[in-house]
Amino acid sequence: MDHQARYREKLVSPRQAAACVKSGDHVFYGHFMMSPTFMDGYLAQRKDELTDVRVSGLCFPGVTQTAACDPEQAHFLYDDWFFGGGSRQLHDQDLCHYTPAMYRECAQVVSAYCEPDVFIVKTAPMDRHGYFNYSVTNSFHEALASKAKKVILEVNENAPVCLGGNGEAIHISQADMVVETDHRPIGEMPSAAPDEVDRGIAARVVSLLEDGCVVQLGIGAMPNLVGEMIAESDLRDLGGHTEMLVDAYMKMYESGVMNGRRKAFDKGRIAFAFAMGSRELYDFVDQNRAVASYGADYTNDFQVISGHDKFVAVNNAIEIDLFGQVCSESVGTRHISGIGGQLDFIYSAFHSKGGKGIICLSSLQGKKDGEKRSRIVPRLTPGGAVTLPRSMVQYVITEYGAADLKGKTTWQRAELLISLAHPDVREDLVREAEKMKIWVGGRNGRKMD
């Protein structure tokens, strides 16, 4: 049977596709911008016909209708493996739950622990060889498609084609149903406007880079700004290897700063697991051999990352305590983000020859009531998750400086971190450090630098 005949045989309406979900099923959605934003609405319309349907997503763009339509959670129970703005909003209403998982292990977790009944994912249109490209999100789609009992492809003609790598496409023979969508463009993710504090931190980060570095940028405005400043620098022959591809990579490549010539492998190509950014970024990745789409089990793998010399990982955090423990997931019990690949990259960067793992954060964080609180705290907010244990943390950077915590005692760490805190809170932090018995400042005439 030819590919077009198979396509016509499997082409169904969205209502027909949604009808395959039964009560008690576990439905997995595609991830990030390849979440099935079209089919989600049709599944939500079946609310009164279904009970006990678990829906799992990963950073669904916006609010998932299957969760929002069922505030009693009698029909759908929604969980997210990372969290974006929509999931935070749902979590505040007790309508979304979190699945903790290290990104590089997610494919293995699915294989060993999950029994997906239905997998629904947005894709690019089928090519002449019968393949549907996963477009801007590779993630661990291949593992889900291999394990699911039914696979539904939500085809969007506006989705760019991202070349592999590996695991970047699914064949028509692996799909059970194909749905053609309303063809709206895939979602964009604008970056927040940086302020002077952000610029000061980013400049300190860039000062730690050197020619030939391989760069990973985490999620958020700060890492994106770092990339933009790199693009404007006189650095040479940088390489790109990341889980998240943002606009800054496009700018670094087009400026000539990032050409990948010195990479140990994937030479000349920026390896990534998913892309989120502007329409210009999506146009940039379309059929572009300068980038390579891989699964997260490759991009976030310890041996792959550390196999590059001078690997520099740049990530941000919500808060860090005086022991050096980093929380990047929650404010107390209020969930904000996920583990993602922060631990993978920070740990692996340190093991790269000449590599650096960097956590950057502003010294203060604004609250809704206008008050500002220190991000450097004596102890993490109760209920806060430890994303990075203190033993793994290397560089910490704020607008007040940079500190390398590796090989430091608890009192040395406290001293360094207090020096990075806002001046208005340093005395309070010293008093707390004394209570915690991690402060020796003033002993034997010693003064804090």
pLDDT tens digit at each of 449 positions of the chain: 699 999 999 999 999 999 999 999 999 999 999 999 999 999 999 999 999 999 999 999 999 999 999 999 999 999 999 988 899 999 999 999 999 999 999 999 999 999 999 999 999 999 999 999 999 999 999 999 999 999 999 999 999 999 999 999 999 999 999 999 978 899 888 777 778 898 999 999 999 999 999 999 987 777 788 888 999 999 999 999 999 999 999 999 999 999 999 999 999 999 999 999 999 999 999 999 999 999 999 999 999 999 999 999 999 999 999 999 999 999 998 988 888 899 999 999 999 999 999 999 999 987 666 678 999 999 999 999 999 999 999 999 999 999 999 999 999 999 999 999 999 999 999 999 999 999 997 554 455 55
* 184 vs 405: CA distance, rounded Å: 47
Per-residue pLDDT, 368: 60
Nearest Cα to Cα of residue 13 among 171, 185, 186, 182:
182
Residues contacting residue 49 through CB under 8 Å, at least 6 positions apart: none
Domain assignments of the chain as residue spans, ordered by start: 3-180, 196-444
Quote the CA–CA distance of 427 and 9 in Å, as a whole number: 71
| 8 A C-beta contact, residue 79 and residue 56 | yes
Please check whether residue 235 is in contact with residue 257, taking contact to mean a CB–CB distance below 8 angstroms.
yes
List beta partners, residue 57: 80
Q: Environment class of residue 404 by beta-carbon count within 10 Å: exposed (0-12), middle (13-18) or buried (19+)?
A: middle
Instruction: Give the per-residue pLDDT at 329.
Output: 92
Rounded to whole angstroms, how far apart are CA atoms 350 and 72?
A: 46
3 state DSSP class of 439: coil
What is the Cα–Cα distance from 194 to 224, expressed in whole angstroms? 9
What six digits make up the tokens of 341? 């690949």
CA distance 317 to 314: 10
Among all chains, which residue has been given the structure tokens 């079946």?
Answer: 46
For residue 109, what are its two tokens? 């977790």
What distances in angstroms separate CA 120 from CA 17, 46, 59, 123, 243, one per listed residue? 9, 16, 14, 10, 22
- 243 an active-site residue? yes
Antiparallel, parallel or unpaired: β 395-398 and 401-404: antiparallel
CB distance 251 to 217 below 8 Å: no
Share of the chain above pLDDT 90, in %: 86
Locate all alpha helices (DSSP H) within 177-295, ordered by sequence: 196-207, 221-231, 247-255, 279-285
State whether residue 93 is helix, strand or coil: coil
Q: Point out which residues pair with 272 in neighbouring strands.
A: 293
Phi-psi region of 95 (alpha: psi -120 to 50; beta: other; left: phi over 0): alpha
Residue with tokens 């050096």, as numbered in its chain: 324
CATH architecture assignment, domain 3-180 = 3-Layer(aba) Sandwich (3.40)
Three-class SS state of 299: helix
Of the candidates 35, 32, 84, 350, the one whose C-alpha atom is nearest the C-alpha of residue 216 is: 350
Does residue 43 contact residue 37 with C-beta atoms inside 8 Å? no
> CA-CA distance, 101 to 83, in Å (whole number)?
12
Q: Pick the catalytic residue from 168, 228, 243, 399.
A: 243
**Topology match between the domains 3-180 and 196-444:** yes
Evaluated on CA atoms 111, 242, 281, 359, the torsion sign reads: positive
Look at the block and give the residue holding tokens 């964009």.
188
**pLDDT tens figures, 84-136:** 889 999 999 999 999 999 999 999 999 999 999 999 999 999 999 999 999 99
Residue-wise pLDDT tens digits, 15-33? 999 999 999 999 999 999 9
Which amino acid is residue 331, in one-letter code? V
Q: Which CATH superfamily is domain 196-444 in?
A: Acetyl-CoA hydrolase/transferase C-terminal domain (3.40.1080.20)
Query: In whole angstroms, what is the distance from residue 268 CA to residue 158 CA?
Result: 27
310: nearest Cα among 354, 349, 264? 354
Element (H, E) at 424: helix 423-435
- What is the residue type of 387? T
User: What's the pTM?
Assistant: 0.94
